[in-house]
A and B are shown apart, each in its own frame.
Chain A
Amino acid sequence: EAGVAQSPRYKIIEKRQSVAFWCNPISGHATLYWYQQILGQGPKLLIQFQNNGVVDDSQLPKDRFSAERLKGVDSTLKIQPAKLEDSAVYLCASSLDGASGYNEQFFGPGTRLTVL
């Protein structure tokens, strides 16, 4: 079974530039999460999708971050414009059905973003 795919694996940009990350979850997984992991810390949720609807985006800095999950499969996370403090690893995770929290989340390899 293929795991969660993410691209690119690494990205370096200048502050104020824009960047986009792509995630392809495990086939059949209804729930998709984007987490931000700053060096030395645990991952923190940015946004949770159930199929193509948003469940929780309370911690997403909406003035600069946006995300979509068209057709309830792939997802894209965008940052525009980027700030220095956005330097982090962006992790995508999926679960079979995240409605209850019971199902484990499977994580992709992450995208390491460096903002100069």
Chain B
Amino acid sequence: AQKVTQAQTEISVVEKEDVTLDCVYETRDTTYYLFWYKQPPSGELVFLIRRNSFDEQNEISGRYSWNFQKSTSSFNFTITASQVVDSAVYFCALTSPANQAGTALIFGKGTTLSVSS
């Protein structure tokens, strides 16, 4: 069975601090896709990044960076110099084409990030 674990329920930081959100996944498939989504207070899930299982390169996009390590089944997300607008719930998710039942995302429980000024 596939599973995503986000052990950090809530994180509070002060503006300009760096923060890392952890994500650990479980799957027996060799081909799979990992995602991060942001859910601001408005409620709409916003896509941030996709990683496929064959690409372990880390990625940086502005203040955001992602570290994918297959050896530890982790796909962590770091926000550098956090801002108040980063306050949201962040979800890590997994899917794979080998799943005969479909390609729905398997979500973790989410990490609530609060950034204060």
Interface set of A (CB-CB < 8 Å, partner B): 31, 33, 35, 40-45, 48, 55-56, 58, 89, 91, 93, 98-102, 104-110, 112
Of the listed stretches B11-19, B62-70, B73-81, B100-108, chain A binds B100-108
Chain A residue, CB-CB nearest to B45: A107
Majority SS at the chain B contact face: loop
Which residues of chain B have C-beta atoms less than 8 A from A56's C-beta? Answer: 101-102, 104
Q: How many residues of B contact A (CB 8 A)?
A: 28
Partner of B33, one of A41, A45, A101: A101
Total A-B Cβ pairs within 8 A:
68
Which residues of chain B have C-beta atoms less than 8 A from A91's C-beta? Answer: 45
Interface set of B (CB-CB < 8 Å, partner A): 4, 32-33, 35, 37, 42-47, 50, 52, 91, 93, 95-97, 99, 101-105, 107-110
